[in-house]
Amino acid sequence: MLELFLNKPKQMELRSMEALPALKDDEVKIRLVYGGICGSDLSVFLGKLTHASYPLRPGHELLGHIIEAGKNVPYELGTRIIVQPNSYCGECVNCLNGQTNICPEKKSLGVTVNGGFSEQFIISSKYVMPVPDDLPDERAVLVEPFAVIVHAFKKVHITKGTTVAVLGCGNEGMLAVALAHYLGADVTAMDINPIKLELIKTLGDIRVIHPDELKGETFDIVVEAAGAQSAFENGLRLVRPGGQMILIGLTPEATIPVIRVVRSEITLYGSIIYNIPDDFQHAMEYLRDTNFNVQPIVSKIIPFTDYKHAFEDALSGNYGKVLLDFKKNPV
């Protein structure tokens, strides 16, 4: 069996795995189908996440099948599953309040512990969820990243005619544009990359624009998905009085004009990952609707053995989601 392994930033290799241990009673062994490359994977690869641990196996957007199960696992062999890649203790105040996403004991696959970019891996059944039969693989693999947007959008009310601006059209930004459009909003997508803006147009009747071209306009809701200081500061200027801003991008720091936030009664929402199982379930409900257009978001599917090509494409910023295909080398 093979796995991708990151010895240190920018030094990834394809190597043979050590034999997997015997399963614990609550664990499952997964044969991977697809693994999605996301922004945090790229940040770990580049060494830009200060809390990442090396060496480690990357990967957290994972779709596969159960091929072995411990005696206390409630799923049958062959069940198609997605992985919830963030652990939680279940006992702290946050967990007991349903906020597993901010558990202080949280560990993240592919960031602080070994991820799932391997032909087979073992995980507690607590962190897997069955996929409905009518949800194709290419949409099912989007459940984890899309749950981030589902969780964020629960903080605001978006309906027909709501004006929404999305700053940054990476994977999460594209998913935010797709969901806001699906909910009936008048969406303006902004990015500095014209290739990304052309890709956004394939999601529907969506206005696209370079951030510098927007003058004097404000929006009911602004979604900051770029994770850059300039995007945050520009986005705050775009919120109408009484409006709301959702912060998804991990901007290290920025200047906040507090007096404008106060006088205009602007509400800022920080949003990190998702809560389990609700946000995953709601994400799957959206994705099961064939009228919800997310097909253009998956730009490339590349055999995992060609991982160098896949990561180069993802790092270029010129594509939507790049998937690693683990079916090309059947175990």
**What is the spatial distance between Cα 157 and Cα 173, in angstroms, rounded to a whole number?**
18
Radius of gyration of the chain (CA): 20
Superfamily grouping for domain 156-270: NAD(P)-binding Rossmann-like Domain (3.40.50.720)
> Is 248:176 a contact under the CB 8 Å cutoff?
yes
Residues 222-241: pLDDT tens digits?
999 999 999 999 999 999 99
Closest CA to 298 of 131, 174, 135, 189: 174
Exposure on the CB side of residue 227, measured as CA atoms within 13 A: 15
Alpha helices, DSSP H, located in 169-228: 171-182, 194-201
Closest CA to 330 of 70, 66, 31: 31
What is the model's pLDDT at position 330?
44
**What is the spatial distance between Cα 222 and Cα 124, in angstroms, rounded to a whole number?**
37
What is the model's pLDDT at position 331?
42
Exposure on the CB side of residue 100, measured as CA atoms within 13 A: 20
**What is the spatial distance between Cα 98 and Cα 102, in angstroms, rounded to a whole number?**
10
Q: How many helices (H) and strands (E) does the chain have?
A: 10, 15
**Residue spans of the chain under pLDDT 50:** 330-331
C-alpha angle with apex 49: 48 to 50, nearest 5 degrees? 105
Q: Which residue spans of the chain are classified as CATH 3.40.50.720?
A: 156-270
Q: Which two tokens stand for residue 21?
A: 């241990």
Q: Which residue spans of the chain are classified as CATH 3.90.180.10?
A: 2-147+274-325
**What is the spatial distance between Cα 157 and Cα 201, in angstroms, rounded to a whole number?**
24
Superfamily grouping for domain 2-147+274-325: Medium-chain alcohol dehydrogenases, catalytic domain (3.90.180.10)
Residues 129-176: pLDDT tens digits?
999 999 999 999 999 999 999 999 999 999 999 999 999 999 999 999
- Tokens 């006992």 belong to 91
What is the model's pLDDT at position 90?
94
Q: Which two tokens stand for residue 309?
A: 């090509």
**What is the spatial distance between Cα 189 and Cα 167, in angstroms, rounded to a whole number?**
6
What is the model's pLDDT at position 328?
65
